[in-house]
Amino acid sequence: MKPTTATGDPAMIRRINTGIALEAVLKHAPLSRAAISEKTGLNKATVSSLVQDLLDQQLVLETGQGQSSGGRKPVMLVFNKRAGHTIGVDVGANYILGVLTDLEGAVLKEIRRPHEARSAASIMKLLFALIEELAAAAEASPYGLVGIGIGLPGIVDETGALLFAPNMDWEPTEVARLTEARFGVPVRVDNEANFGALGEQVFGAGSGIRHLVYVSAGIGIGTGLVLDGKLYRGFTGHSGELGHLSVDYAGPPCRCGNRGCWELYASEQALLDNALPLGCRTLDEILEKANAGDKAIIGVLERTGAMLGVGIATIANVFNPEAVLIGNRLSRAKRWLEGPLARELESRALPYHRSRLRVLFAELGDASAVRGAAHLAASAFLDRVKAGRTQLLSTH
């Protein structure tokens, strides 16, 4: 963003330039006033006035002195990451995970709960209770709770309504509208795999990767597609349902209406189904037995890894990504999945597509989506700040 010098509404020009100064602090802090002027092209007098506005708005803080280049030591400026808080929530088919974060994404409180709810009404009740508990844990701040991000395991439209969740019995539900009405703050709702891709790009293993497919391997399988640095949503915004690629023409029916879907063979649910005859009912029990050297359980894990490789080979051939990143709960089983996965990828993907492909496991584990959801809520708040559409709580 370049400084505005054209004539026009002075208040609008000042808002734009304030946003430019704030962006410089966000990207390069700690930063002096002189350095802001140098990086933005705004003159020093203008920067001094804009910084005072940001100090008055409690969006930046003065912190110590920097090194002198000949005169007085400059006062350094940093972004006030505790100016407000965001909440991110990941609603899974059998769990709900929420975090309270500061405006830079640091987790201040985390709540994780299993659930067996299936209807929209029961899950919305759990969602609201979780958000209320997280909001109550936030310390007083100039802007309070500034936004909520919610990841859902299904197809979400542009209004934030859940349309279809194959592994849950949700009827179409206006999740964003209902949550905004309850809590009075902006709410962003998306498929959890899209948030997972964002979370790993900002905080985890996806940093700096412009062509990335994030595979959310939980009870089902969803994917977030990052193509040339941007999240790809498709014509109607519903892309990413690669868990419902058919990998077996005559396979069993899937809840989506298809047959032989990839997630029937390579998801956490598939792993649980195959481990049940061996006396394991949960992923924790499976991993505990695998760590103890149980060969039968290790075999089940390795077959799941091989089936992940089957689908990832197709992803490699279709999208030619720089990296495929496996997240959500199955990322905890990396030790047993990655070998069989790599062997299937080697034998099934085209050589030109696999030669430079990296297969990574999420650094954030099963928290990728919830971190991405909270980050998007914070980013939306900062966009409103730059547009001059926020107020301190004390001015309400």
Q: Quick check: helix, strand or coil at residue 312?
A: helix
- Are 44 and 33 contacting, i.e. CB atoms less than 8 angstroms apart? yes
Burial class (CB in 10 A: 0-12, 13-18, 19+), 301: buried
Residues carrying CATH 1.10.10.10, the chain: 10-79
223 has which bridge partners?
Answer: 215
Q: How does residue 386 score in pLDDT terms, banded at 50, 70 and 90?
A: confident
Cβ neighbour number for residue 257 with a 10 Å cutoff: 9
Q: Quick check: helix, strand or coil at residue 164?
A: strand
pLDDT of residue 169: 84
Q: Assign domain 207-362 to its CATH architecture.
A: 2-Layer Sandwich (3.30)
Q: Quick check: helix, strand or coil at residue 246?
A: strand
pTM for this one?
Answer: 0.93
* 396 pLDDT higher than 50: no
Residue 261's nearest CA partner among 314, 301, 214, 325 is 314
pLDDT per residue as tens digits for the range 276-303: 999 999 999 999 999 999 999 999 999 9
What is the residue type of 211?
H
- The stretch 127-144 carries a mean pLDDT of 97
Average pLDDT, the chain: 93
pLDDT of residue 12: 86
pLDDT per residue as tens digits for the range 33-77: 999 999 999 999 999 999 999 999 999 999 866 565 555 678 999
Cα-trace Rg, the chain: 24
* 394 pLDDT higher than 70: no
Highest mean pLDDT of the ranges 7-11, 38-42, 176-180: 176-180
Which region, left, alpha or beta, applies to residue 234 given φ > 0 means left and ψ of -120 to 50 means alpha?
Answer: left
Q: Which helix (H) or strand (E) holds 120?
A: helix 120-136
- Are 339 and 302 contacting, i.e. CB atoms less than 8 angstroms apart? yes
| Of residues 29 and 214, more confidently modeled | 214
Residues carrying CATH 3.30.420.40, the chain: 85-195+369-395, 207-362
pLDDT of residue 376: 97
pLDDT of residue 388: 81
pLDDT of residue 129: 98
- What backbone phi and psi angles, to 5 degrees, belong to 374? -65, -40
- The stretch 133-158 carries a mean pLDDT of 96
Cβ neighbour number for residue 379 with a 10 Å cutoff: 18
| Of residues 11 and 137, more confidently modeled | 137
The proportion of the chain whose per-residue pLDDT surpasses 90, expressed as a percent, equals 86
Query: For 10-79, CATH number?
Result: 1.10.10.10
pLDDT per residue as tens digits for the range 357-376: 999 999 999 999 999 999 99
The CATH superfamily holding the domain 85-195+369-395 is ATPase, nucleotide binding domain (3.30.420.40)
- Are 147 and 187 contacting, i.e. CB atoms less than 8 angstroms apart? yes
**Interatomic CA distance for residues 357 and 315, integer angstroms:** 11
* 349 pLDDT higher than 60: yes
- The stretch 310-330 carries a mean pLDDT of 97
* 304 pLDDT higher than 90: yes
pLDDT per residue as tens digits for the range 192-244: 999 999 999 999 999 999 999 999 999 999 999 999 999 999 999 899 999 99
Q: How does residue 393 score in pLDDT terms, banded at 50, 70 and 90?
A: confident
